[in-house]
Structure 1
Amino acid sequence: MNPASVPDFTIQSLILNADPVVQGVMAMLVLASLACWAIIIEKSILFGRLKREARSLAALAASGAIQPPEGDAAKDSLSGAVLRAGLPEWREGRDQHESAGEFRDRLERAMRAAVTATLRRAEPGLPLLATIGSVSPFVGLFGTVWGIMHSFFGIAAKQDTGLATVAPGIAEALFATAIGLVAAIPAVIAYNRYSIGLSRIRQEALGAAASLASRLARRPAVLDGRRKAGESA
């Protein structure tokens, strides 16, 4: 066989010689893969920070401290958001018609809302991972079907069913499926990992908020404030 007649199956050749529709599918899948990895890197950093903040909040609840953390970074942290939500309710004190349990529930609701609002900011990007993971294989399959169909048209036009005629078009078509899987597999793994991780962080933070609310409910904020005022006078 003449070496010049051997098809070129390099990645560059598969992309450049593919049908324009298949090339468009490949470009979309490559962009989806890049977006997937950008989200993975960003979420890895973010979730690492949230895990540390959830542990810090749990340690704060265990120690019974009620002073919000200082510094700009600490103010934006999970523990800072929880204390900023709960301390105003605590300083307002227990209403005379409010039971101890109702006072504790009011503190806990405020802190739980802060946890939910803070962790909700970590959710953007996860739906895109789920979409990439579920749609990319089908987009790649569309490119494969289109490429094989285009190969059959070429066979009919050349009236040649030899392997040298069929193989390049089929290889280009299957390459689209391969790119779809390359985009989908990391997206599915990352989505499952981050969804479970976010659920665990939420549970730990909500448990710490409930413990902190229970501790605060047993401390008379109004009396403490009057005592401090009397001492200063």
Structure 2
Amino acid sequence: MTPADAMAVQAPVADMSLLGLFLQAHFVVKIVMVGLLSASVWCWAIIVDKTLLFRRIRSEMDSFEDAFWSGRSLEELFRSFNDRPATGLAAVFVAAMREWKRSFEGSGRQIQSLSQRIDKTLDVTIQREVERLESRLLFLASIGSAGPYIGLFGTVWGIMTAFTSIAASKNTSLAVVAPGIAEALFATAIGLFAAIPAVLAYNKLQAEVAKAQSRLEGFADEFSAILSRQIDERLSLVA
């Protein structure tokens, strides 16, 4: 038996399964893996939650538009949506109507600059709705950009540890080298596993936010024009 054969025989058989690679990895690499896996789970929770949220928002917007353009009076619509939590287009409508009604309460009618106040209210409400839709999307972007580098850090650390062990054992056979390298590369694989869905989901969800924002702004412009005409009518009556 040659010396190489003897070393190959003496080399322990490494567990090359995914669980085995994790258990055999250096504790720093384990921390990286656990962190990336936790981040991946949180990313998927955000993706599912946001997907359901945007689906619900689209349905609520469709329902509100059907009600708004059905011919019902603004007062009737306001009473219907003011008594329940409003989101999306309903939130924009309710906020503008509240400003409208406050301006006509009491004896002093604050019609002057009412259009500007309503436009400001619409802008603030839209911004709040967009911020609500965009919440936690920054985490997806962070994991998408930093995940591969975090995994690469675990890989570099694992390779350094593997080569240090090889130098100490003075055994360069493939059976000794392969497990350490595989453990290190496993960290990069987990980093990509966390980053790729995060990047794809972030781009998709940001596109959904842009569509919702465009729809909110379009409705706000239409509703502002309707209220502006009513303001002009009331000013002409007063005059």
* TM-score under structure 1 length normalisation: 0.83
CA contact under 8 A between 1:58 and 1:204: conserved in structure 2? no
1:27 is displaced (CA, Å) by 0.7
Q: How much has 1:141 moved relative to structure 2?
A: 0.1
Aligned partners of 2:190, 2:24: CA distance in 1, in Å?
16
Instruction: Show the 5 A alignment for 1:104-119.
Output: 104-119=115-130
Displacement after TM superposition at 1:103 (Å): 4.4
1:78 aligns with 2:88: yes
Change in CA separation of 1:53 and 1:182 when aligned onto 2, cut-off 3 Å:
same
Aligned-pair CA distance for 1:176: 0.3
Query: What's the TM-score, normalizing by structure 2?
Result: 0.81
CA-to-partner distance for each residue in 1:134-170, whole Å, 9 max, x for gaps? Answer: 1110010000001111110011011111100100000
Q: How many residues align?
A: 219
- Report matched runs for 1:1-233 at 5 Å: 5-60=12-67, 62-63=69-70, 65-66=73-74, 67-68=77-78, 70=80, 74-91=84-101, 92=103, 98=112, 103-219=114-230
Q: CA deviation at 1:113?
A: 1.7
Determine if contact 1:115/1:205 at 8 Å carries over to the other structure.
yes
1:162-221 deviation line (CA, Å, top 9, x unaligned)? 100100000000000000000001111111111111011011011111101211222359
Counterparts of 1:89 and 1:73 in 2: how far apart (Å)?
16
Query: Does the 8 Å CA contact 1:140/1:179 hold for their aligned counterparts?
Result: yes
CA distance in 2, matches of 1:215, 1:43: 33
1:46 CA displacement: 1.2
Structure-2 separation of matches of 1:73 and 1:146: 58
Cα distance, 1:31 vs structure 2: 0.6
- Are the aligned partners of 1:68 and 1:79 in contact in 2 as well (CA < 8 Å)? no
Alpha-carbon offset, residue 222 of structure 1: 9.5
How far apart, CA to CA, are the structure 2 residues paired with 1:13 and 1:219?
A: 73
Mapped to 1, the partners of 2:202 and 2:35 lie a distance apart of 20
CA distance in 1 between counterparts of 2:156 and 2:19 reads 20
**Unaligned 5+ residue runs, structure 1?**
224-233
Alpha-carbon separation, structure 1, partners of 2:188 and 2:114: 58
Distance in 2 between the 1:11 and 1:187 partners?
22
Match of 1:228 in 2: none
Cα RMSD, aligned residues only = 2.8
Counterpart-to-counterpart distance in 2, 1:28 and 1:209:
43
Equivalent pair of 1:69/1:80 in contact (CA under 8 Å) = no
| 2: CA distance, partners of 1:142 / 1:177 | 8
The answer for unaligned runs of 5 or more in structure 2 is 1-7, 235-239
CA distance in 2, matches of 1:72, 1:209: 17
